[in-house]
Structure 1
């Protein structure tokens, strides 16, 4: 049986000019695939001494509630600031975009347990949150509803997620009520979406989930996705706020962590119909149990409690 990666490469080699002729007048060569993406396929290209990244979008982007045109608008707005890769060309109808390649190294997971690098992430988020994000809004309840529309509701994962749905919605509603100052958020700042550039600045890639939203949700993605310890979770929030966080601010972060953990499980449930290997059943079960324990924990404050 043919390797899917080899088939994709063969197809790309055959049709490379179709992807490149709209934005480059010179010959373009395919250097290699870029690994790490869970859904999209990305490739390193080279032309006239310049390097570029071609990203071919996942076919199920509508099921994942992705707005490619909004992503392009955001990249155009933030690319020149230095916190994102510079957009070269995009064709949402054909399902691909091209950005300039950033010289640097991928973020390594062990770096999330270092004081100075946590401060760098906090600074990156503060910069992003001050930028103009356009009109797209991150609606957690709306996104979860769209995920549910794409999930195989007869599957065991859907059954287990449905059992905690009502409890999660109370947390989501509480977090929505506390987000009084929406700002541009990346919403997916995982380790694989951070590049440490050669000049030591952090560059965020893959802005497909970016939208106006809750800055605490962005912080929650980092805490959950980077698996920060309680010590570094507090440091992240402290560095972001510029002061020691209050109990109310820590509580808000905890509730946004619940939001993210739930959306992540829904995302994997959507993907499981085509790529169950992305999160094996055992890991899915462990994450679900952990989320349910947090929902029921006496340490979690009543979702009806209001912050003053």
Structure 2
């Protein structure tokens, strides 16, 4: 059924056929099509004599997201392509959401390698280039998106946790703080800086000097450096929210390293803001997962949503334990919770190969 949908698109869209022949240089029927596993979209990779391209067919899930706006996504992709940070845009049909990009040849890292200082430093510098050099017309407000998704999910019969209103109180309290609206923190925000949305090439100074990298046996793919995929949620938003989607699964000392690398100095107020935005992003990912469950009936989304909400709950619990029992107990609880979250995320994470 999916493959039939793809061929119907190819047959009905002259632009798709022309670009495929130009970029891949093979008859469409002879192209080696590979379906890529994706949580949100249907993505195909077409390989031919001249190279490879990705074609994305958007999932109906995105019709419920006000942040996913084809005109904004196209503007974002053009901006990050010029910076050589995002994929090269070949075709974008704003009426259908069909997207075609050149394939970025590189590799994705494990979470452990991704969180190493050498790679994080390269990643943070790349993100800062986007924040400093690109602007678009659209805006991303997590509170608006979350409230909208909650209403749609409830209409689909999705049951939210009993304490969900308490979680929303935390979110609204954070977004009522004055610094949220400061213009200095308004940047082009990717909003989904999950480690699988990064592509690395092997032929850069970072890779060549990393023993851990060389031992992984990755081939040399060319001088590309760090590239970022999956820009469909990108819009103008808060800097700390964007960084929170990067640091969500990192240990505290790595979170501090990210802030120090980004700002050139570590400040406690920046760390506090980052942690608050991690609460917001955790709630967003949890609500998004429940909404996706209403379309797919895939129990994985329920498990993932619960892990996101538990992350928010655990932060309040850890603080109360700290106040009651002191630092030593706090450290033991933190290590235990981090271990649980780490193991849970590694167990339930699915590969996301959006172009």
Q: So what's the TM-score if we normalise by structure 1?
A: 0.85
CA distance in structure 2 between the partners assigned to 1:160 and 1:297 by the alignment: 17
Within 5 A, what are the aligned runs for 1:61-210? 61-65=62-66, 66-152=68-154, 154-157=157-160, 159-174=162-177, 176-177=180-181, 180-197=184-201, 198=221, 199=223, 201-210=225-234
Structure 2, gaps ≥5 residues long: 202-220, 321-355
CA contact (8 A) 2:31 2:48 kept: no
CA contact (8 A) 1:172 1:255 kept: no
Structure 1, gaps ≥5 residues long: 1-6, 300-308
CA contact (8 A) 1:63 1:270 kept: no
Structure 1 counterpart of 2:270: 249
CA distance in structure 2 between the partners assigned to 1:250 and 1:141 by the alignment: 21
Structure 2 counterpart of 1:33: 34
CA contact (8 A) 2:192 2:233 kept: yes
CA distance in structure 2 between the partners assigned to 1:214 and 1:290 by the alignment: 21
Given the alignment of the two structures, is residue 230 of structure 1 paired with residue 252 of structure 2, yes or no? yes
* Stretch moving more, 78-87 or 179-188: 179-188
- The alpha-carbon deviation at position 36 of structure 1 amounts to 4.1
Structure number with the higher helix fraction is 2
Cα RMSD over matched residues?
A: 2.4
Q: So what's the TM-score if we normalise by structure 2?
A: 0.75
Given the alignment of the two structures, is residue 262 of structure 1 paired with residue 283 of structure 2, yes or no? yes
The DSSP-based 3-state class of the residue aligned with 1:90 is strand
CA distance in structure 1 between the partners assigned to 2:200 and 2:237 by the alignment: 25
CA contact (8 A) 2:292 2:301 kept: no
| Residues 261 and 42 of structure 1: CA distance in aligned 2, closer, same or farther (over 3 Å) | same
CA contact (8 A) 2:186 2:236 kept: yes
Given the alignment of the two structures, is residue 213 of structure 1 paired with residue 207 of structure 2, yes or no? no
How many correspondences in the alignment?
A: 291
CA distance in structure 2 between the partners assigned to 1:179 and 1:58 by the alignment: 33
CA distance in structure 2 between the partners assigned to 1:33 and 1:264 by the alignment: 28
The DSSP-based 3-state class of the residue aligned with 1:61 is helix
Structure 2 counterpart of 1:59: 60
| Residues 211 and 11 of structure 1: CA distance in aligned 2, closer, same or farther (over 3 Å) | closer
CA contact (8 A) 2:55 2:100 kept: yes
Which of the two has higher C-alpha Rg? 2
